[in-house]
Structure 1
Amino acid sequence: MLLRLALSTARPSGLLLGKSSQAFLKSKPSLNIVRNYARHPVRNTRNPVAVEQPRAPTLKEKLMAPPSANAYSMGKGAVAGAAVVGLGALCYYGVGMGKHTSIADNAIMWPQYVKERIQSSYAFFGGSCILTAASAAAVFRSPRLLSLASRGGLLWTFASLALVVGSGALTRSMQYEPGLGPKHLAWALHCAILGGVIAPLCFLGGPIMTRAALYTGGIVGGLSTIAACAPNDKFLYMGGPLAIGLGVVFASSLASMWLPPTTVIGAGLASMSLYGGLVLFSGFLLYDTQRLVRKAEVYPQYAVAPFDPINASMSIYMDVLNIFIRIATILGGNRRK
């Protein structure tokens, strides 16, 4: 009797022991949670640690940061907008919708000496382009002259600028005389110096230079047609704004020498000098074309000093040269991309 009672009391305890062991075995996966918890720092709910917020970049860091992919998009948009405006003006004035008489209308009543003045001015303009191209090709084929023209640095930049400005001022200061004279020699020297300065552009290659010349010819032809079809004094009031824009573009070109285009501010200055200069000198071409025609019309026929076609052509020549340089630079940059 006692044995049965002992056996009956022992069985339930054995069952309980088996169940507890199974429960313990089943609880083993929870050890991984404990281990993972022990590996990480315990959060202190009483004294929470303050998380340091990221510091906002300063203005200098923003300006010196690498430029975005759309750094030149604003300049490209300005050029595209100017092209649309120019095309609209060409269509508007080309169909004769202007209210005032244009240069093309006045050309019918021009005396012969006015036509000769304009023809001689554009003849010197064509001669300037030929002399500059020949000088650039000659310098590019001479290793010694090319190394001198390609020399960088602040000193060489200001030296070349002084040569260009000085030779141009010397040419303008001389009195024009028919036939070959000192003014013609100074004019040829000025064109040769400009050719030597732009000779490093030949590194872009013949195809790009040819395309740039064709694009420049198309732009110059279109703008000249607008100036001829528009009222004869339509663009003569643009002198003040164009002078201000020239100062901005010149300052941007100088500042880009110290700030490379690999930064935000450098890319902005380069875009202003490149695309802003393209729009600016296109406006200068409209202004200088109408100014040349006006000067040929009103200059006295029997004056002490004769009409100077060299001085009249130099402004248009410099406008076209600046347009060509910027188009070649843009095409060269697109090829590198």
Structure 2
Amino acid sequence: MLRSGVFVLLRPLSKTSAQPFSPVRQFSSLRSNVLTSLRQSPKSQFSAKFFNPSRTLFTEPVVARPTQSEAWKRYALSAGAIAGTIVVVNGFLNRETRDSLTEAERSYLHSSFKYTGAGLVFTALAARSMFRSGFAFRVMSANPWLVLGVSLVGSIGTMMGAMYTSPDNTLLKHTFWLGFNACQAATLSPLFFFSPAILARAALYTCGVVGSLSYVGATARTDQYLYMGGPLLAGVTVVALSSLAPMALPLGLRGLAITEAISLYGGLAVFGGFVLYDTQKILQHARLAEIGAMPKDPIKESIGLELDMINIFIRMVQILGMRKDRK
């Protein structure tokens, strides 16, 4: 994903024995005299351009920063695009909305999204700290299979602990929840090698996608998206296999392009569907908890939404990074 630069080493030519009438020696002496005279001439434009110690051959690129009015204009356009997306998606998928949410459904959904937001903030801050401490570089330099195995075991273990620990055991449940977010931060810390502008845009787009789809799921006329569990499971299996296929199969350029497209754009569609599914699942669990059929567990509900947002964010970063490389 990240590419390193190429360092070129220049090796000076070895000195030869002195020859009084060698043309090479005469050219060398002439060149040194000319350069000396150019350096000593204060009025020489050549000297001012090429021997000024403040100038170098490698200069930093000049980046034009947008003015404050242009920045606000861009924010307004982004906010308008997100609001328009919510209206269009809601009008397309929810032609008839259900009645307003009950107080129990609204409270449970609010609590679940609070834990989702808190977990994402903690993950982002921890990933940034790990990146600045050099942890991300050490992770990328280590054995990739070992890192993948440890991260999977740690993430799955802490996730299962946070999901299946009783809500009455508050301390242990929150400990598993913090451990799960720490494992996600360790996995996501190499993303900070990307430009901050790409990460900010990816985060904005992710919030727009998840916000609009959550609104659609919460205001749907029926629980129609709860029946998407089976197809979504099959879809995420295809996405996972397409991501792992280049590691195990000798694919050509066309095969790599196809698997990459399935992993990126297919993954966006699958995890967008999971946002709809998880939102309606939270509302169903809220109704069951209201009648005493199951305990309230907003931490368990938030983990599914957090995984959906992280997977959408990663794909947004990859797509924006690819677009920047093509320019």
TM over 0.5: yes
Q: Which of 1 and 2 has higher RCO (CA within 8 Å, sep 6+)?
A: 1
Shift of 1:122: 1.1
**Matches for 1:168-317 after TM superposition, within 5 Å:** 168-177=159-168, 180-258=170-248, 263-302=253-292, 306-317=295-306
Counterpart in 2 of 1:118? 109
- The residue type equivalent to 1:205 in the other structure is S
- Is 1:158 matched up with 2:153? no
Distance change >3 Å, CA 148–CA 316, structure 1 → 2: same
Contact preservation (8 Å) 1:114, 1:297: yes
Distance, in Å, in 1 between the alignment partners of 2:250 and 2:319 is 17
Distance change >3 Å, CA 115–CA 177, structure 1 → 2: farther
Distance change >3 Å, CA 152–CA 257, structure 1 → 2: farther
Contact preservation (8 Å) 1:249, 1:277: yes
Contact preservation (8 Å) 2:115, 2:299: yes
Shift of 1:300: 4.4
Shift of 1:287: 0.8
Aligned residue for 1:198, secondary structure, equals: helix
- The residue type equivalent to 1:164 in the other structure is S
| Larger radius of gyration between Structure 1 and Structure 2 | 1
Distance, in Å, in 2 between the alignment partners of 1:202 and 1:174 is 33
Contact preservation (8 Å) 1:260, 1:267: no
Contact preservation (8 Å) 1:260, 1:266: no
**Matches for 1:11-22 after TM superposition, within 5 Å:** none
**What TM-score does the superposition give when structure 1 sets the normalisation length?**
0.66
Contact preservation (8 Å) 1:242, 1:284: yes
Distance change >3 Å, CA 333–CA 296, structure 1 → 2: same
Counterpart in 2 of 1:90? 90
**Matches for 1:43-58 after TM superposition, within 5 Å:** none
- The residue type equivalent to 1:287 in the other structure is Y
Counterpart in 1 of 2:313? 324
- The residue type equivalent to 1:277 in the other structure is G
Shift of 1:306: 3.1
Contact preservation (8 Å) 1:150, 1:200: no
Shift of 1:262: 6.6
- The residue type equivalent to 2:166 in the other structure is Q
Counterpart in 1 of 2:70? none
Shift of 1:146: 3.5
- The residue type equivalent to 1:317 in the other structure is E
Distance change >3 Å, CA 261–CA 124, structure 1 → 2: farther
Aligned residue for 1:176, secondary structure, equals: coil
**What TM-score does the superposition give when structure 2 sets the normalisation length?**
0.68
Give the gaps of 5 or more residues in structure 1: 1-84
- The residue type equivalent to 1:158 in the other structure is G
